[in-house]
Structure 1
Amino acid sequence: MHILVLGATGRVGSHIVKYALQDGYQVTALVRTPQKINTQHDRLTIIEGNVLEPNDLVHAMHGVDAVISALNTDGTTTLSKSMPLLINAMQHEGIKRIITVGTAGILQSRTEPGKLRFQSSESKRKSTRAAEEHEQVYTLLKESTPEWTIVCPTYLPDGEVRGNYRVERDVLPEGGTEITVGDTAEFTYRQLSDRRFINTRVGICY
């Protein structure tokens, strides 16, 4: 399998690249700063480019079977502005599978089911800007043709794979407060072969 990883220089994305290479996959990483990728491998292709440039996206997708996006918000609108371009590029190249890393804020609220968590009293965050960006991505994917999965971690400290996490469709498992970067990346990566969460959000936590 050949996958395109976006956000490959980030905390989650760098782990996903590592897991894919360990499993023998071909990996392409589209990054603004190639020097930030420390990994060198004969199955890793690093392309310098920008997710807001349609030509860069199409170029990076040549021969790709699936896309994993671990892009974060970084205080910008890159996430929401790049998703329509990403979907168009996937359709242009005939790619039918995308997995993205979102946030638990865009899961359904348990206490107020008509709202998303970030809109409800469940959320303790004062700023909703990042969640609003992720909500736009969720809306765009719901209206698109590719098969999508949004992995929605709660508080995300650094840490390796523990393997004892819980997942639940569309909501955060009860009592969940955190999940390590390693476990989030491992679960996200496994969605390439796991068909249980097609076209849905997945809450993940310990």
Structure 2
Amino acid sequence: MRITVFGATGRTGVPFVRRALDAGHEVVAHARTPSKLPFSDERLVVVEGDVYTGEGVAEAIAGADAVVSLLGQTGDGPDDLLTVAGDHVTGAMAEHGVTRYVTLVGAGVREAGESPSLSGKVMGTLLRLVAKEVLADAEEHVRRVRATDLEWTVVRAPRLVDGDASGYRAGDIDLGFESVARADVAAFCLDCVEDDLHVREMPKVGPA
């Protein structure tokens, strides 16, 4: 399988790329700074570009079987990163006839009618107080993705931490103040791609 990855040099992107290569897939890593990828492989193709401006996006997506977005907000990044980048990605997917899309957002993004746990409600309130723009960007990105004809999956994760994969649970689960290893999130995203899990669903992923 040929998988295009956006956010490939990030702290979740790197373990995803490594895991996908170890599984025998061909990976196209779109990166603003390719030198940040800590390894090379004969099945790894790096496309330099900027997903926020759209540079290199179509080139990276052409010929892909699936696209995975592991982009994350940073303190000095644009407030609408996920929304704008997502539009570039989904537009290029439509142009090249690629339908499978997995994108990662925070667990603070809710589905209509969803009833989070008490701790989840508290976390959601805190996010709206301290990271209002980040949450609004993720919510708008998800709204636009859901409006497409793509075979999308929106993966929702709580606070991400570094460390080795130790197993995850995913689906319609309660999440609150817990954290999950980025390596486990990477594993779940790859499982969604490989096994066509949670198509047009918004599963949550947390520690096992």
| Change over 3 Å in CA distance of 1:193–1:121 after alignment to 2 | same
Aligned partner of 1:134 in structure 2 is 138
| Change over 3 Å in CA distance of 1:46–1:199 after alignment to 2 | same
Residue type of the alignment partner of 1:9: T
**Identity rate of aligned residues, in percent?**
28
**8 Å Cα contact 2:158/2:176 also seen in 1:** no
Task: Write the mapping of 1:148-187 to structure 2, written as runs, cut at 5 A.
Answer: 148-163=152-167, 165-169=168-172, 172-173=173-174, 177-187=178-188
TM-score calculated relative to the size of structure 1: 0.88
**8 Å Cα contact 2:49/2:55 also seen in 1:** no
CA distance in 1, matches of 2:27, 2:197: 24
Could you tell me which of 88, 93, 114 is aligned with 1:90?
A: 93
- Deviation of 1:53 after TM superposition, in Å, equals 3.8
Residue type of the alignment partner of 1:91: A
- Deviation of 1:182 after TM superposition, in Å, equals 1.1
Aligned partner of 1:32 in structure 2 is 32
Where 1:173 maps in the other structure, the secondary structure is coil
Q: CA deviation digits over 1:61-113, x for unaligned, max 9? A: 1211110000112242222111112111001110010001110000345259x
Where 1:10 maps in the other structure, the secondary structure is coil
Unaligned runs of at least 5 residues, structure 2: none
TM-score calculated relative to the size of structure 2: 0.87
CA distance in 2, matches of 1:50, 1:175: 33
Residue type of the alignment partner of 2:195: D
| Change over 3 Å in CA distance of 1:176–1:59 after alignment to 2 | same
Where 1:149 maps in the other structure, the secondary structure is strand
Please give the root-mean-square deviation of Cα atoms over the aligned residues, in Å.
1.9
CA distance in 1, matches of 2:50, 2:135: 22
Task: Write the mapping of 1:70-89 to structure 2, written as runs, cut at 5 A.
Answer: 70-74=70-74, 75-76=77-78, 77-89=80-92
**8 Å Cα contact 2:2/2:63 also seen in 1:** yes
CA distance in 1, matches of 2:155, 2:175: 16
CA distance in 2, matches of 1:14, 1:140: 26
Where 1:141 maps in the other structure, the secondary structure is helix
- Deviation of 1:174 after TM superposition, in Å, equals 5.3
- Deviation of 1:121 after TM superposition, in Å, equals 4.1
CA distance in 2, matches of 1:30, 1:188: 17
- Deviation of 1:129 after TM superposition, in Å, equals 1.9
Could you tell me which of 108, 112, 115 is aligned with 1:110?
A: 115
Where 1:130 maps in the other structure, the secondary structure is helix
